[in-house]
């Protein structure tokens, strides 16, 4: 197992515990004790994955996540003691690919890391078919998405959702099915997490996110991707918030 992982954690004991478990799996580990140091390490050392504690001095993990997502598509995993659904969705909305709540099992953390790196690594292997739906192109082999020739940068989980839908245009996928196919190992994902990622997808793909042409809601069921019409397609009636 290879890969350089940056662990941004201001608690030295926690940081070293994570480092030990990751190094046992063969990963190379970089440490940063605050948000600014994490940014500097990311820009100079180019890690393959970043683990961010949300509560850090200076720039917190959400600020760092937001900045990094503008600068790169490196997989981002948040560590947070904030366990409410709104807190988790806020973290995902900044561009994080995954989260894990404290207290957590180091073995579970390593498993999440393995999944994110495997998904990111598969992006550069090539050899997979390009999925085309209208003027939307999804290239799983290259981890690339284009809309009318315009490249669109997605996080690993956003890409996973889009790829799942694009492989079977017109089919309606429930949130549970999307979690199973796009998120893999993560049995703790909330179904509303899918909604947060879909909101981000629409912001990136659609000319008018409020009237999506691609990722469409099917009332009472879930989501589908459909051949776009020449003009914007009205969004189906929103589902009530649980």
Domain membership of residue 94 (yes or no) is yes
Opening angle at CA 178, ends 192 and 191, nearest 5 = 15
Q: Are residues 48 and 155 in the same domain?
A: no
What integer pLDDT is reported at residue 5 of this predicted model? 95
Q: Are residues 54 and 17 in the same domain?
A: yes
14-28, 86-100, 126-140, 218-232 — which one is most confidently predicted on average? 14-28
Q: Which of 97, 122, 147 is the last residue of a domain?
A: 122
What residue numbers bound the domain in which 189 lies?
131-225
Is the model's pLDDT at 124 over the cut of 90?
Answer: no
Q: What is the DSSP string of 178-193?
A: HIIIIITT-TT--HHH
Nearest Cα neighbor of 115 from 182, 177, 197 is 182
Domain membership of residue 213 (yes or no) is yes
Q: For the chain, what is the domain count?
A: 2
Q: Are 38 and 32 in contact (CB under 8 A)?
A: yes
Mean pLDDT taken over the chain:
82
Nearest Cα neighbor of 227 from 129, 136, 131, 151 is 136
Residue 31: in which H helix or E strand, if any? strand 28-32
Q: Are residues 34 and 82 in the same domain?
A: yes
Q: Are residues 99 and 185 in the same domain?
A: no
Q: Are residues 41 and 62 in the same domain?
A: yes
Q: Are 140 and 128 in contact (CB under 8 A)?
A: yes
Average pLDDT over residues 220-242: 61
Torsion 8-12-17-23 (CA) sign: positive
Local confidence band at 230 (pLDDT 50, 70, 90 cut-offs) = low
Is the model's pLDDT at 232 over the cut of 80?
Answer: no
- Record the tokens describing residue 132, joined without a space: 């085309």
Domain membership of residue 231 (yes or no) is no
| Percent of the residues in the chain that have a pLDDT greater than 90, as a whole number | 29
Residue where the block lists tokens 């662990």: 7
Q: Are residues 139 and 110 in the same domain?
A: no
Q: Are residues 17 and 105 in the same domain?
A: yes
Q: Which of 61, 92, 122 is the last residue of a domain?
A: 122
Q: Are residues 153 and 98 in the same domain?
A: no
CATH number, position 158: 1.10.10.10
Domain membership of residue 23 (yes or no) is yes
Local confidence band at 235 (pLDDT 50, 70, 90 cut-offs) = very low
Average pLDDT over residues 57-74: 88
Q: Are 25 and 18 in contact (CB under 8 A)?
A: no
Q: Are residues 150 and 91 in the same domain?
A: no
Opening angle at CA 203, ends 241 and 213, nearest 5 = 85
Q: Are residues 58 and 32 in the same domain?
A: yes
Q: Are 41 and 129 in contact (CB under 8 A)?
A: no
Domain membership of residue 240 (yes or no) is no
Q: Which residue has the higher pLDDT, 39 or 104?
A: 39
Is the model's pLDDT at 91 over the cut of 80?
Answer: no
Residue where the block lists tokens 């909305």: 93
CATH number, position 31: 3.40.50.2300
Q: Are residues 13 and 103 in the same domain?
A: yes
């Amino acid at each position: 197992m290879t890969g350089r992982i940056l662990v941004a954690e201001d608690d030295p004991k926690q940081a070293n515990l994570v480092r030990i478990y990751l190094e046992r799996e063969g990963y190379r580990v970089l440490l940063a004790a605050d948000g600014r140091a994490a940014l500097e390490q990311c820009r100079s050392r180019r890690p393959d994955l970043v683990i961010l504690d949300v509560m850090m001095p200076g720039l917190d993990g959400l600020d760092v996540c937001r900045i990094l997502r503008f600068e790169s598509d490196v997989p981002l995993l948040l560590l947070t003691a904030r366990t409410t659904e709104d807190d988790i969705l806020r973290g995902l909305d900044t561009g994080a690919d995954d989260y894990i709540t404290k207290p957590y099992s180091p073995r579970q953390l390593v498993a999440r890391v393995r999944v994110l790196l495997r998904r990111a690594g598969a992006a550069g292997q090539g050899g997979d078919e390009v999925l085309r739906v209208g003027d939307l192109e999804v290239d799983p082999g290259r981890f690339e998405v284009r809309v009318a020739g315009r490249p669109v940068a997605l996080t690993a989980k956003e890409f996973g959702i889009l790829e799942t839908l694009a492989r079977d245009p017109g089919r309606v996928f429930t949130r549970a099915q999307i979690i199973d196919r796009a998120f893999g190992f993560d049995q703790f994902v909330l179904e509303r997490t899918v909604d947060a990622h879909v909101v981000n997808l629409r912001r990136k793909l659609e000319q008018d996110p409020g009237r999506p042409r691609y990722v469409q809601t099917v009332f009472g069921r879930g989501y589908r991707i459909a051949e776009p019409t020449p003009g914007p397609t009205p969004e189906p009636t929103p589902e009530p918030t649980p």
